[in-house]
Amino acid sequence: MAYDEDTAIVLWPEYFDSRMTRSQGRRLPLSLCVPEPDLDIIAKGAAILDLEYRVHEDMAYPSNRIERRGCVKVERGPMPKTKILAAVGRTLVDNS
């Protein structure tokens, strides 16, 4: 599939941050998370999965609007969002 801004899946760094609790936004088990993930490594994980992506550095996670950590938007591929999150999390752990 091709990247479409309107249907893209948003990957926030909070999803992969081992310092966060589930209620603060972490979406994966700690075994698939790293401390303080940055946008570059999340984008690298999307590239390894052969997904088209765009990095948006000026965005803030909805429940933490003060800290603008940005996000990575990836194409809605053949996998559901939960599988994409887990696959990107595995690449983060393997490459950090």
Which tens digit of pLDDT belongs to each residue from 38-96?
999 999 999 999 999 999 999 999 988 888 999 999 998 788 999 999 999 999 999 87
Alpha helices (H) in 1-96, listed in sequence order: 39-48, 81-94
Tens-digit pLDDT profile for residues 18-47: 999 999 999 999 999 999 999 999 999 999
Check residue 75 and give its pLDDT: 93
pLDDT of residue 1: 64
Check: CB of residue 62 under 8 Å from CB of residue 12.
no
- Name, in order, each residue with C-beta under 8 angstroms of 3's C-beta and a sequence gap of 6 or more: 52, 53, 54, 73, 74, 75
Percent of the chain with pLDDT over 70: 99
Residue ranges making up the domain that contains 89? 9-94
What is the domain count for the chain? 1
pLDDT of residue 4: 86
Asked, for residue 3, whether it belongs to a domain, the answer is no
Q: Which residues of 20-32 are buried (b: 16+ CB within 10 A; e: fewer)?
A: beeeebbbbeeeb
Q: Where are the beta strands (DSSP E) in 1-96?
A: 9-11, 53-56, 71-74
| Residue found by looking up tokens 């088990």 in the block | 29
Residue 1 within a domain:
no
Read off the CATH number of the domain in which 28 is found.
Answer: 3.30.56.30
